[in-house]
Structure 1
Amino acid sequence: MKLLIFGGSVFLSKTVAEVALARGHKVVCLSRGDSGAPPKGAHHIVADRSEETDPQAGTWTGLASHDWDAVIDVARTPSWVDTALTALKGRVKHWVFVSTISVYSDVSAPGGTPENTPTHDPADGDLDDSTDPTAYGRNKIACEQAVQRETDGHCLIARPGLIGGPGDPSGRYTYWPERLSRGGKVLVPEPDDAPTQVIDVRDLAEWLVTAAEQEMTGTFDAVPPSVPFHEFLAETTEGVSRVRHPGREETPPLRLVWADPESLLALDVRPWAGARSLPLWLPDPEYAGMRDRDVSSTLAAGLAPRPLADTAEATLQWLANGSGARKSGLTWHEEQDVISSLNDPA
């Protein structure tokens, strides 16, 4: 298979390239190159899609002189997707577009599917998603619709939720293997049965390449079945226990300190991601279904999630090897201050 990947240097797109190369496919990656090179064996085309806006000129002319078995694109900017679709029209057999569950406008109900969950209105142009919380989803739904329209349905739309595993630049899932590996008192959010869904980047990449190989079509939520948060913690703890982390041979015993959402919010602990957060925590009921999607159709289409303990082990090993992953979540001192305040609320 001759595969064109937009990206190929970071996290998901790089893992996709690695999987495709391991399967013997010819892989071409297009990226700016600012974040490094694609895997060895891939042909790297250095180009900036924000600058190469004419589909009939520059890099696009060269790409359009070839026929491609598949394209895999992770873009979040509608104009980038429009340009690629125009430039490569008639040259691509199958298109795989990686979207997001952020396209949904209402995720208050658990067990939703792409068929029964409303989406945001598509962006009209490229929206700035740094200030508007809906802009990212609106941009992605605009990209989805363009791909479906211009490929006449010869495409697969994958909507991942939170992606974890080695190479994760966001630090969201990474927070938990790193923190649990340190032992001691660990702040965790109630309720302990809150559903949680994290897809390993390697499993997602394997499935995306398979989708390209098999020319799969349709729209899928690309996440594993949900597990309660206490099980998420237990499996992650099991995984990190397998890693011999230099300097942490004598960690203190692990003790989970459960705290209710009201107390956490009062102490300025923030949800989901970013500074001073407890990553993956979503206390607002309007997000009750964001981490509890019905993925029966996705599993039937071949997505095969590995045990979360394996993801935790690989993530911590990647960190131990000096990854330089971005920090997300509470710092050690912030966490211990919160725990002290919970124990002594005066």
Structure 2
Amino acid sequence: MRNVLVLGGTAWLGFEIAEQLLASGDAVTCLARGESGQAPAGAVFVPSDRRSPGAYAAVANEAWDEVIELSYDPAMVRGALDALADNAKHWTLVSSVSVYATNTDAGAEESAPLLKPVDLNDYGQAKVAAEQVSQKALGNRLLIVRPGLIAGPGDGSDRFSYWVGRFALAGEGPMLSPIADDRVVEVIDVEDLAIFIAQAGKSGITGAINATGNQHALADVLALCADVAGFTGELVCVFDERLIEHDVRFWAGPRSLPLWVPKTDIAFAQRDNSAFRAAGWKLRPLRQTVQRTLEAERELGLERERRSGLSRSEELELLDQLRLG
């Protein structure tokens, strides 16, 4: 039985990772404030504010077969390394494909240039800084996992879930979409990613790995979401220029069309994942992820306020404006 410490473990991905570790027979400890939720049943929960002095005192003297770090705050990452690195056989840092300097080269591998960590308020740059300090402290004991778009129940960003939820809400009514034929989506189910991270630690995998899913045309993803949701209305596809004129935003956040990115950044969703596949990559069919997501969306409420996307009233108003214009 391995002894594993998850720095987090109470929120979405961290909780899934802890559950997968427990399912595989590991002894799991989750260290977190606990404000995002509870650790899974069977895990030892250590409440701690990682910004406070002595944050790791309860776990610092224990030998860890694996430590899993999810933070993008370099100060937190550095503090954990100072307290725990000497007693850890293997360390996994969950990073992001947002660390890359450009999104212009389709099929770029893990060796592609990274951002310069100048502004640590920027998510991608902060993740680069976290990678660098971890590499310096751990050397060949470190696995850096760089996920792309993650989907599935519990996703608080609403980026992927917006579409299947909106198709279900629209029903027979109209829906607004970007011109999607020339866009691409790479998506991985949160449970599949968690399984990979749990197994990679057992296998002692090190280095950097793009943990991204298969590439799908955005048009195909939207068609799948519409089919799963039972949508029978009209999908109104609009060119980028007109959407931008009406203050519709890219990718995520309020008044956005999620997953829609500028044409100059299409390669953001075309990262090479051959190292991931070689390391034992497994990915469920996308339809299953969409179905899982829709079930969660119905439980949360299709008309709820979202972190990303247009409200239904904003969307219908925009459709009227676009038709008149």
Amino acid at match of 1:119: L
In the alignment, the residues of structure 1 paired with residue 270 and residue 27 of structure 2 have an alpha-carbon distance, to the nearest angstrom, of: 37
Letter of the 2:324 partner, please give it. Answer: D
Query: How far off is 1:288 after superposition?
Result: 2.1
Partner of 2:308: 328
Which residue identity lines up with residue 195 of structure 2 in the other structure?
Answer: E
Show CA shifts across 1:161-199 (max 9, x none).
121110111111110110111222111111423111121
Q: Is the 8 A contact 1:169 1:325 kept in 2?
A: no
**Are 1:221 and 2:210 matched, yes or no?**
yes
Task: Report SS of the residue matched to 1:24.
Answer: coil
Q: How far has the Cα of 1:284 moved from its partner?
A: 4.4
1:93 alignment partner, SS class: coil
**What TM-score comes out, normalization by structure 2 length?**
0.94
1:220-259: CA deviations, max 9, x gaps?
1111121101111122234435xxxxxxxxxx72321111
Q: Using a 3 Å threshold, how does the CA distance of structure 1 residues 240 and 72 change in structure 2: closer, same or farther?
A: farther
Between the aligned partners of 2:310 and 2:78, the Cα distance in structure 1 is 39
Secondary structure of the corresponding residue to residue 21 of structure 1: helix
User: Does the 8 Å CA contact 2:305/2:311 hold for their aligned counterparts?
Assistant: no
Q: 5+ residue gaps in structure 2? A: none
Q: Indicate which of 129, 136, 146 corresponds to 1:149.
A: 136
Greater CA drift, 273-282 or 252-261: 252-261
Distance across 1 between alignment mates of 2:217 and 2:244: 21
Report the Cα distance in structure 1 between the residues aligned to 2:49 and 2:305, rounded to whole angstroms. Answer: 24
- Stretches of structure 1 that go unaligned for 5 or more consecutive residues are 53-57, 130-134, 242-251
Q: Following the alignment from structure 1 to structure 2, what is the Cα–Cα distance between the partners of residues 123 and 48?
A: 26
1:35 corresponds to which residue?
36
Take 1:261 and 1:88, find their aligned partners in 2: how far apart are those partners? 49
Q: Which amino acid aligns with 1:293?
A: R
- What does 1:268-307 align with in structure 2 at a 5 Å threshold? 268-285=247-264, 287-307=265-285
Alpha-carbon deviation of 1:61? 2.9
Q: Is 1:311 paired with 2:311?
A: no
Q: Deviations over 1:292-318 (max 9, x none)?
A: 112122112122121121111111211
Partner of 1:343: 323
SS of aligned partner of 1:254: coil
- Cα distance in 1 for partners of 2:315, 2:7 equals 39
Q: Confirm or deny that 1:72 pairs with 2:68.
A: yes
Instruction: Supply the distance in 1 between the matched residues of 2:102 and 2:253 (Cα, whole angstroms).
Output: 23
2:234 aligns to what SS in structure 1? strand
C-alpha root-mean-square deviation of aligned residues, in Å?
1.7
Aligned to 1:189: 178
- Post-superposition offset of 1:145: 1.4
Cα offset, 1:66, TM superposition:
0.7
Give the % identical residues: 39
Residue of structure 1 aligned with 2:117, choices 96, 103, 122: 122
Check whether the contact 1:272–1:278 (CA below 8 A) recurs between aligned residues: yes
Larger helix proportion, structure 1 or 2? Answer: 2
Q: Would you say how many aligned residue pairs link Structure 1 and Structure 2?
A: 320
